[in-house]
Structure 1
Amino acid sequence: MVTATRHILLMDGPDSTGLIHLVTGILYKHNLNIIRNDEYVSNDQQFFMRTEFEGELNAIGLLQELQETLPAGINLRINPKKKKNIVVFATKEHHCLAELLIRYAFDELDADILAVVSNYNTLQPLVSKFGIPFHYISHEHKSREEHEEAILRTLAIYQPEYLVLAKYMRVLTPDFVGHYLNRIINIHHSFLPAFIGANPYRQAYERGVKIIGATAHFVNNSLDEGPIIAQDVKEVHHRQTAGDMATEGRDVEKLVLSKALKLVLNDRVFIHHNRTIIL
């Protein structure tokens, strides 16, 4: 099938001489125009490249020629440059969810929010203002596995490309994470790896920190230890309480989550071991 749109070629694998030349030559042969090209070689000699191009594309033919020409071990994928489908999870705090809803309403999110899922109904009035389906799936009187099974049944309706945990205060099981491996993005209210787990602002206050921060990361099976996508910090001082720090931190959290989503939704993030490579 031939399509005339803008696409993104993502490539990673062992580094070797001439990879960029080989890829760009094949794109030229297919009469495809490169808009932007970014590449990086890691210390362990892994090559990463993101190539944005446009033109009439025969994706199957292009991939076949690239695979036949490039060395063994190179991973290739071609994604259309389009909005991704996401489902947002939240519990009771509104600030991160509200930021995403506003950006979505003004077409600034690079994604379509298909639904919002919560284990409380607190945020339903907010979500309803934006005409987005809200699914209240209570965790009460359910095991963690039963609760997640109910969520997975709901997600099967939407088939999202990514899940966004916008202050969703539940620890996900390995089985659930496995359904969306490297496709769950979380915002944690501290500058990881400091203050992992619950009440990080209280931990930060008791430690007497001079900065607080927020971290957006992919979710894996180690609590708050998934590959980091984006971070930021804000100065604080000794006169502030833990509550004051939490208030200040909410502004950082929502901006860091939005920044991380922009990177992921634009196919700029590679995962290498437990790190991210951002091109």
Structure 2
Amino acid sequence: MNQQMLVLIQCQDQVGLVAIISNTLSAYHLNIINMREYVDEASNKFFVRVVCNGTNSDTEELQLSLAAVLPAHAQIQVNPSRRKKTVVLVTKEHHCIADILVRQHFETWGSEVQAVIGNYDDLKPFVEKFDIPFHYISHEGLSKKDFEEAIISQIKQYDYDYIILAKFMRILSPDFVKTFEKKIINIHHSFLPAFIGANPYKQAFERGVKIIGATAHYVTDDLDEGPIIVQDIRHINHTYGIKNMVSAGKEIEKAVLSRAIRLLTEDRVMLNGNKTVVFD
């Protein structure tokens, strides 16, 4: 019986890589349904996402065979889990976490929230309506180090692929980021790199912008400068005050974050230094 397989590869570029990969898959009687590739000429790196089907299910053997014919140190994944597990961090705002939980409830994507952690307990009753654990860890009265250690300890109680900052309005330390390197996804309420940091809508209003936006990105040590996954904008005009901007921005934020999570769950995002390759 045929089954679908997903192969993800990134490596140094060289002539004939598409042929090498295609021939290897053919040798395993795998038929390519879709192949998307990209070459970053500046770094001489090759990226490819291949969807194929066939009767051969020996993923470990296929991975070894690909490694044997690809450039040294190639990163190869065969059939990564399509059901990504997440831990979500929140503060008080509900629009992003509500969108995530409703999508999960109706099984419209391959993301599964294991737990929600909040530094306020405002969202606890809502989250628990979906039978998902909510952990309240207050930042008040604790040093930043102790607060983050408490969150780290709680996160490690769960199995996770990503940690989603769904309007978690705290700046994370380099130690925290390093603990979950390449695993933390944030939604920032501006079209980065414009208006980095706090109060971006106030900054945008004072600048008199005619578009507002949101950015979903990986979290790194550099505030709001991690690799960008998804961005979107909305046109506004001079009649928009800060409250109007915030209201419109929330709609963009939840849409952008949800799209980023969907792309991650479908293994369509590959890191390329401080950029991403997104096969949407």
| TM-score bin, normalised by smaller chain | over 0.9
Change (3 A) 1:179 1:5: farther
Contact 1:12 / 1:48 at 8 angstroms: preserved in 2?
A: yes
Q: Distance in 2 between matches of 1:266 and 1:179?
A: 24
Q: Distance in 1 between matches of 2:75 and 2:228?
A: 22
Q: Percent same amino acid at aligned positions?
A: 46
Q: State the one-letter code of the partner of 2:178.
A: G
User: What residue number does 1:22 align with?
Assistant: 20
* Residue 5 of structure 1: how far off its partner (Å): 4.8
Contact 2:165 / 2:186 at 8 angstroms: preserved in 1?
A: yes
Superposed CA offset, 1:55-91 (max 9, x none): 4321221111111112224221223352111111110
Q: Secondary structure at the match of 1:152?
A: helix
Contact 2:35 / 2:50 at 8 angstroms: preserved in 1?
A: yes
Q: State the one-letter code of the partner of 1:142.
A: L
Q: Distance in 2 between matches of 1:142 and 1:233?
A: 37
User: What residue number does 1:145 align with?
Assistant: 145
* Residue 220 of structure 1: how far off its partner (Å): 0.4
Unaligned runs of 5+ in 1: none
Q: Distance in 2 between matches of 1:50 and 1:103?
A: 25
User: What residue number does 1:101 align with?
Assistant: 101
Q: State the one-letter code of the partner of 1:266.
A: E
Q: Distance in 1 between matches of 2:179 and 2:33?
A: 34
What is the count of residue pairs matched by the alignment?
A: 277
* Residue 4 of structure 1: how far off its partner (Å): 7.5
Q: Which 10-residue stretch deviates more, 147-156 or 198-207?
A: 147-156
Q: Distance in 2 between matches of 1:109 and 1:92?
A: 25
Q: Where in structure 2 are the equivalents of 1:62-77 lying within 5 Å?
A: 62-77=62-77
Unaligned runs of 5+ in 2: none
User: What residue number does 2:8 align with?
Assistant: 10
* Residue 271 of structure 1: how far off its partner (Å): 1.1
Change (3 A) 1:147 1:57: same
Superposed CA offset, 1:128-162 (max 9, x none): 11111111111111111111111111111112110
User: What residue number does 1:89 align with?
Assistant: 89
Q: Which 10-residue stretch deviates more, 123-132 or 81-90?
A: 81-90
Contact 2:185 / 2:218 at 8 angstroms: preserved in 1?
A: yes
* Residue 120 of structure 1: how far off its partner (Å): 0.5
Q: State the one-letter code of the partner of 1:166.
A: A
* Residue 249 of structure 1: how far off its partner (Å): 0.5
Q: Which 10-residue stretch deviates more, 59-68 or 221-230?
A: 59-68
* Residue 215 of structure 1: how far off its partner (Å): 0.4
User: What residue number does 2:221 align with?
Assistant: 221
User: What residue number does 1:269 align with?
Assistant: 269
User: What residue number does 2:38 align with?
Assistant: 40
Q: Distance in 2 between matches of 1:30 and 1:189?
A: 47
Q: Which 10-residue stretch deviates more, 75-84 or 112-121?
A: 75-84
Q: Distance in 2 between matches of 1:7 and 1:148?
A: 39
Q: Which 10-residue stretch deviates more, 136-145 or 72-81?
A: 72-81
Contact 1:8 / 1:81 at 8 angstroms: preserved in 2?
A: no
* Residue 109 of structure 1: how far off its partner (Å): 2.8
Q: Distance in 2 between matches of 1:6 and 1:198?
A: 45
TM-score (norm 2): 0.95
Q: State the one-letter code of the partner of 1:180.
A: F
Superposed CA offset, 1:95-140 (max 9, x none): 0110101111110131111111110000011101111111111111
Q: Distance in 1 between matches of 2:274 and 2:117?
A: 27
RMSD of aligned alpha carbons: 1.5
Q: Does 1:51 align with 2:57?
A: no
Q: State the one-letter code of the partner of 2:157.
A: I
Contact 1:6 / 1:81 at 8 angstroms: preserved in 2?
A: no
